[in-house]
Amino acid sequence: MKATLQEKNKKFFLNRRKRTLITILIATIFLVSVVLAGIFLDEGRITTNLTNRNSPPSLDHFFGTDWLGRDMFTRTVMGLSLSMGVGLIGATGSALIALILGIAASMGKMADRLISWLIDLFLSVPHLVTLILIAFTLGGGFKGIVMGLMLTHWPSLARVIRAEVMQIRSAEYVQVSKQMGKSRWWIALHHIFPHIIPQILIGFMLLFPHVILHEAAVTFLGLGLSPHEPAIGIILSESMKYLSSGMWWLAFFPGLCLLIIVRAFDQIGENLRMLIDPTRAHD
């Protein structure tokens, strides 16, 4: 009787795998909704309207209005959508660089030493500093910030992929392929690459929050996106001038939304890692 009750209770409780899938689904739906909202929101709400400027949050303007009467809710959602687009390009570029270098490390001892030295070199300098230098050198703007994000966020993922590649390279079936005369590139494509896809996927998702935060930071400093774009970094930078006047909503809501977006991406990455981990996937 007790065993039957316990079995019935288990049906009503979600195990860790189901909770993980639900968390990923909710976070994904939320992020997709933000992107779609940023695309389809009426841009007329961010035009100058001096008769309604400096309004606090209300039912008409959820996040209030700024000193030009622009709706802060619309600006914030569009800024988040823009930051996610920049983050997608930057994280994709960094993941590709990490993948190429990680696989290239399997080509021989000399290549492995060179790539390890390159990874250590980039990790020895804070990538936010390197990002600022690259963005400044390229003149800022969309091109400068995207190139800077691509060239600075790959080392940690490259180190993880390299370690995985070294482990796979010593596997017995890889050694058999070498003895059968298969080339290094054939082995890398058919044996190594399929096994590191989970690491690339998780690393890509975990790169996203860092890329978005650093894009906002560099834009806040004036070296990122154009001031004419409704980017979160620009919104926060402009709001600093008005905080002393009591217009707290100009910085509070955009900053809070940025943290929520970053946390959502982080949750997806962490839960994907838990889901793919064979020791925890079926808890």
Does 25 have pLDDT greater than 80? yes
Residue 43: inside a domain? no
Range of the domain at 198: 66-276
Residue 28: inside a domain? no
Residue 33: inside a domain? no
- Region 228-246: mean pLDDT is 83
User: Could you give the CA distance from residue 115 to residue 89 in angstroms, rounded to a whole number?
Assistant: 23
Residue 98: inside a domain? yes
Tens of pLDDT, residues 52-61:
888 888 888 8
Residue 230: inside a domain? yes
- What local confidence, expressed as pLDDT, does residue 277 receive? 64
The CATH number assigned to the domain holding 262 equals: 1.10.3720.10
Does 233 have pLDDT greater than 80? yes
Residue 34: inside a domain? no
Residue 208: inside a domain? yes
How many domains would you assign to the chain? Answer: 1
Confidence bin at 70 (pLDDT 50/70/90)? confident
Tens of pLDDT, residues 146-180:
888 898 888 888 888 888 888 888 778 778 877 88
* Contact by Cβ (8 Å): 236, 216: yes
Residue 104: inside a domain? yes
Name the residue with tokens 């992107």. Answer: 35
User: Could you give the CA distance from residue 275 to residue 269 in angstroms, rounded to a whole number?
Assistant: 10
- Region 120-130: mean pLDDT is 85
